[in-house]
Amino acid sequence: MNLDFSWMAWTWPTAAFFGTILLLLCGMAAWEYVSPGGNPRIGVLRFETTRGDRLFLSLLGSAFIHLAWLGLVGPNLWWALALSVVYAIGVFRYV
């Protein structure tokens, strides 16, 4: 069977993006296997979140940071990536 994925326009940045999300999900699954329960806590948003919730919030926020960066600054996304990492660290620490 010959799988033709040419219609998907895979580039190295696209593959790295989805590969990173896959690695994050696998890492979170392994973390949940080793330490079940998700460590629920109430942070600055005043509702209970687990590790999975915080990962989702950090990925969603990073998407918005990148979209805003593209619209306001331009296509050089390295600073947006750095800002997203700082944002994710903040979400995991304080939310």
- Residue 65 falls inside a structural domain: yes
Distance CA 57, CA 63 (A): 10
- Residue 5 falls inside a structural domain: no
| pLDDT score at 15 | 81
- Residue 4 falls inside a structural domain: no
- Residue 55 falls inside a structural domain: yes
| pLDDT score at 37 | 80
Structural domain span for residue 75: 10-94
- Residue 1 falls inside a structural domain: no
- Residue 70 falls inside a structural domain: yes
- Residue 27 falls inside a structural domain: yes
- Residue 25 falls inside a structural domain: yes
pLDDT of the chain along its 95 residues, tens only?
666 767 777 778 778 888 999 999 999 999 989 988 877 899 998 999 999 999 999 999 999 999 999 999 998 989 999 999 999 999 999 99
Rounded to two decimals, the pTM is 0.81
54 CB-contact burial (10 Å; exposed 0-12 / middle 13-18 / buried 19+): buried
- Count of the separate structural domains present in the chain: 1
Work out whether strand 41-42 and strand 48-49 pair parallel, antiparallel, or are unpaired: antiparallel
